[in-house]
Structure 1
Amino acid sequence: MTEFQVFGDFQEKLQGHSHEFLILGISDNSITTQKQWQKNGLSADFVAAYLATFLPLKQEELENKKLRKRIQESVNYIANELLENAMKFNDRKFPHPIKFELHLLKDENLKIFMKTKNNISYETLEHFRTFIKDFISSDPDEFYLRQLERTDDEYTSGLGFISIKNDYFAKLGWKFEKIEQEPLAIAATTMVQLEYGSYGSSNL
């Protein structure tokens, strides 16, 4: 593969007049799957609660309270989906921790970025690229129905990504990069962007 490949709405540089961020490193150790999912849920809860403290909304106003809650619930769901996906496909041959990032940018609009980065095998890369190309080029509703019939295939279902796009009107992007040659190590970064207009009216 080339040194890196980018698909969808992936932004290398995040810019805004005000920028708050949180970065977590999560070890993918040998604990049970149930414990791993529990850890993902706790991490997503923490990320959503952390974000809420920085939202530029007046808490005493009812509509802003509702919006704050909706943003927090959206971030919680998406963070959990991203973490579960990163854990599921992480290549455990390499000791690198899974990396999660949350970025809150305040400009004309309010933008929230979430990213996960993990190692994947070359086989997973090939299946993932095929899924992404189909995902990007297809009608969202038709693609969802088609994928429902393929949930037995762990590489092609991708229902979490479909839900993020269809239910939360989020933008998604991916970057694959070669970080080691021998043995071949490939890092996959998934990015999700939510945008809210004028801090108050949501595009969601």
Structure 2
Amino acid sequence: MIEHYGSFEDIRHDPDTETLNLSFWPGRLPLRQRWRNNGLSADFLGDYLTTFFPLDDDDPATARRQEEIRSAVSFVANELLENAMKFHDAAQPEPITISLCLHRDRVVFHESNGSDAQSVAGFRAFVLKLLESDPGELYMQQLEHNAMSEGTAGLGYLTMINDYGADLAWRFEPSASGGFRVTTQVTLPI
């Protein structure tokens, strides 16, 4: 049974929406080498999207807006890819994918990766806590918790919400191999 948390929407493929899709097979390179690729891929997505917001030499605000969009898209994409690489279950027979969809008023990301049942249970609990909590308070709690430990669990998602006004949603889809396909959706207003 497919489970949805938050306001999840499927990416539309029509003439009014621009989409870009990337796929990765994380087992091909060690995780350390993947970190560099994550940053390059995230920056590519940010640079790609800014081409839809052309500069106007007569309006300096266009350069600021373009940089804000590029920065937000790069940050979100990098966080999504890092989480996917860390938590992907290589036993699942599907790649990690990230899709970017540009609407008139928002950018929608979908990042999907395979996960085992135990990891999904812990992540689902985090998702529920995130959806039921005040993001600002939860951010402060996580900062305090992380100061006492080495973890950074959830800070990327909380930064997306608190700093970029993002809406998050998730889909948990059982796979034929006994695991799950987990899709994180991030919607950024533009």
Calculate the TM-score normalised by the size of structure 1.
0.85
Rounded to whole Å, the distance in 2 between the matches of 1:87 and 1:139 is 28
Residue aligning to 1:199: none
What is the aligned counterpart of 2:155 among 152, 159, 166? 159
Residue aligning to 1:168: 164
Q: What is the RMSD of the two structures over their aligned residues, measured on CA atoms?
A: 1.9
1:189 partner amino acid: T
Rounded to whole Å, the distance in 1 between the matches of 2:115 and 2:92 is 9
Residue aligning to 1:202: none
Q: Does 1:192 align with 2:190?
A: no
Q: SS state of the match for residue 48, structure 1?
A: helix
Displacement of 1:17 in angstroms is 7.0
Structure 1 unaligned segments of length 5 or more: list them: 197-204
Residue aligning to 1:31: 29
Displacement of 1:146 in angstroms is 1.8
Displacement of 1:142 in angstroms is 1.5
Rounded to whole Å, the distance in 2 between the matches of 1:184 and 1:124 is 13
**Structure (1 or 2) with the greater strand fraction:** 1
Residue aligning to 2:117: 122
Task: Write the deviation string for residues 41-90 of structure 1: whole angstroms up to 9, x where unpaired.
Answer: 010011111111122x5532201111111001100011000000111100
**Structure (1 or 2) with the greater helix fraction:** 2
Q: SS state of the match for residue 66, structure 1?
A: helix
Q: Does 1:79 align with 2:73?
A: no
8 A contact 1:174–1:188 mirrored in 2: yes
8 A contact 1:115–1:192 mirrored in 2: yes
What is the aligned counterpart of 2:86 among 85, 88, 100? 88
1:53 partner amino acid: T
Rounded to whole Å, the distance in 1 between the matches of 2:110 and 2:56 is 27
Displacement of 1:15 in angstroms is 8.1
Calculate the TM-score normalised by the size of structure 2.
0.91
Rounded to whole Å, the distance in 2 between the matches of 1:13 and 1:160 is 22
1:175 partner amino acid: R
Report the number of matched residues. 187
Rounded to whole Å, the distance in 2 between the matches of 1:142 and 1:157 is 15
1:133 partner amino acid: L
8 A contact 1:150–1:157 mirrored in 2: no
Task: Write the deviation string for residues 4-62 of structure 1: whole angstroms up to 9, x where unpaired.
Answer: 1000121125488721110011111252332110010010011111111122x553220
